[in-house]
Structure 1
């Protein structure tokens, strides 16, 4: 890892172009197509694919660093690309552990496929452990999916949707089915993404009406509920760590903007820049102390995934915990940055104003604060009685 150079995969000039476009996509509520085009051209969609298959051959630890860097330019772009990287990351978890079934995702990423994440459903707090989407078995071994998925990032551009549904018709039912579907007329994407922040992700609602997954794209059939299957660990580990990375990147950018502003603003009272004001210095130090804790935590857990460390049942506490700490930290840092920057940051044209709105989305991603605390309580106190 000592020789890893993030600028090789995300050059400074590319980041600056992405940063300039971010304000436009936020204001106009549009998808950052040019960002995706440039990232695809740079090979970013296949950073987690092994080099022998045409990818960059990076590990999750390196991808997490890159996602933090991308989020400093455009949180919405980083968050949307996250969902593609989750599936390529799960494919890497599979291949690293000798589990077959997701090689087509790795080949597809190199070929230019864009993978979206179709797991979230309105009111389904079981998340990975259950689904309200019907997965109907077909005679050829494939499945047809009918239901509604929410928060489908990359909605205007994805070519393959990785999703789950519940099979209640087979002899061994119920089974949770994880599969990938093509974009066809059986998939309707609603133009309903008009949100406070993360507007560029265009995470629209997706309606499925007998959307077909080919037999070779049916990845897993598992029992509903908590399950040790690699698909559950793969999704949970990559999803949580890359989410933590995006929000940690937001914090980094907010800290940088606060420092820049403090060094430029001058106090009429003292005649000195605000960087010499003891209260401002305390705020910036508080931000830095909070931020500095997260990158090494993310790196350590991502390296453990890459190196197949065995944390047993503690994995879920560790992963949900680092995601929760990252979003809490990021929100705190952005709050403080707004105060350091002063009233100018309240204007919608100010980058900090956008970061302030974007960072709020972190609390709504799994694991939410309630789930993270419940997982930690069970790990330390044991399960609830009865």
Structure 2
């Protein structure tokens, strides 16, 4: 088990680096090389790799804490870290099923490899549970070509986790997950990344070509991985990033109010009541996030083969609630700071925070998630409310 104090110190050291470069990463829409180097230096990329594979074997809550700390420094850096850990969690979920995969996870820990996801595909409309492409098999190799609509930090990752149909005869939902190292892949850029926020994630579109061994296919079907690992892990780690961003904006708003209070002793600054609302929302976000993380851990410890429908609905609701609440918190901070928050280059600037958080309801679109949640709630046999 990790020492939480030591882990948070390492995360904060990486966050100091992230904060120093955050504005440049944002304005230039560039990959935060300095942050990732710092995360590697502090041995934070292999955090979830199990102990028996020579990793620290940290729980998801530890990765969530690092996401939150990084989120207070640089939203793009934090989101990259979250997306990487989601991929690691997906591999850990199938651990022991493949000698090649076990050895690869050892390398993730020892070499601090950065993993990226290739689930998007032109023509599937944002539905990652559907694939058009399928591998061709010849002798002891497989080849695959995939037109991806976005691969976050794809050019900078050490390995790509690529979804595809199991074979050319399989249905679009019968998917596999292939671990492709950079030496196995070729990327051809098809569109740039020039966005409102999260600009440092460098999420360009690529045509992907890969050649790998069948052993690099993760043994579990991607459908199982997506529902029982990728979905809850994504919503918990994304939520931790958003909580971190919103927390930093609120700290800036509090610093602004403290300056006003020093200028006019004895009078309550006009925006102070908004600070109470923002902090109350942050507290609620943190409590809901901690509850979901703890419940996910307890379910996993119980060795259930499938997550309960009620929990899947809960983590879907978590994503929607946190993505909307984080935006509202930063809006309150903006109203507190006024022009000082709206302008770039002041100690109270929170334009980057607001722009970054506008991505939150779009990853995956909240309307799509709400529709999926409604389906789960209708199918659920257990009472909607426990106790």
Give the TM-score normalised by structure 2: 0.86
CA deviation after TM superposition for structure 1 residue 182, in Å = 2.6
CA deviation after TM superposition for structure 1 residue 206, in Å = 1.8
RMSD of aligned Cα (Å): 2.7
Q: Give the Cα separation in 2 of the matches to 1:343 and 1:126.
A: 37
Quote the residue 2:371 is aligned against: 374
Do the aligned residues in 2 keep the contact of 1:87 with 1:105 (CA within 8 Å)? no
Change (3 A) 1:94 1:194: same
1:213 matched to 2:212? The reply is yes
Structure 1 residues 46-100: Cα deviation after superposition (integer angstroms, max 9, x where no partner): 11112343322210012111111111011100111222111111233334xx655
Structure 1 residues 277-307: Cα deviation after superposition (integer angstroms, max 9, x where no partner): 3x52221111111111122222222233333
Moved more, 305-314 or 317-326: 305-314
Moved more, 180-189 or 330-339: 180-189
Structure 1 residues 223-273: Cα deviation after superposition (integer angstroms, max 9, x where no partner): 9xxx5x2453111121121111111111111111111111113598xx348
1:335 matched to 2:327? The reply is no
Q: Give the Cα separation in 1 of the matches to 2:232 and 2:139.
A: 32
3-state DSSP of counterpart to 2:72: helix
User: Any runs of at least 4 consecutive aligned residues in structure 1 with deviations exceeding 6 A, and if so which?
Assistant: none
1:295 matched to 2:278? The reply is no
Do the aligned residues in 2 keep the contact of 1:346 with 1:353 (CA within 8 Å)? yes
Do the aligned residues in 2 keep the contact of 1:91 with 1:105 (CA within 8 Å)? no
Give the alignment of 1:107-118 within 5 angstroms: 107-110=106-109, 111-118=111-118
3-state DSSP of counterpart to 2:255: helix
Q: Give the Cα separation in 2 of the matches to 1:31 and 1:254.
A: 22
CA deviation after TM superposition for structure 1 residue 19, in Å = 0.4
Quote the residue 1:48 is aligned against: 48
Do the aligned residues in 1 keep the contact of 2:161 with 2:178 (CA within 8 Å)? yes
Quote the residue 1:305 is aligned against: 296
3-state DSSP of counterpart to 1:138: strand
Quote the residue 1:361 is aligned against: 359
Q: Give the Cα separation in 2 of the matches to 1:93 and 1:243.
A: 19
Quote the residue 2:94 is aligned against: 94
Change (3 A) 1:143 1:294: farther
CA deviation after TM superposition for structure 1 residue 25, in Å = 1.1
Give the TM-score normalised by structure 1: 0.86
Contiguous gaps of at least 5 residues in structure 2: 381-387
Moved more, 356-365 or 200-209: 200-209
1:199 matched to 2:199? The reply is yes
Do the aligned residues in 1 keep the contact of 2:191 with 2:206 (CA within 8 Å)? no
3-state DSSP of counterpart to 1:242: helix
3-state DSSP of counterpart to 2:258: helix
Contiguous gaps of at least 5 residues in structure 1: none
Q: Give the Cα separation in 2 of the matches to 1:43 and 1:232.
A: 29
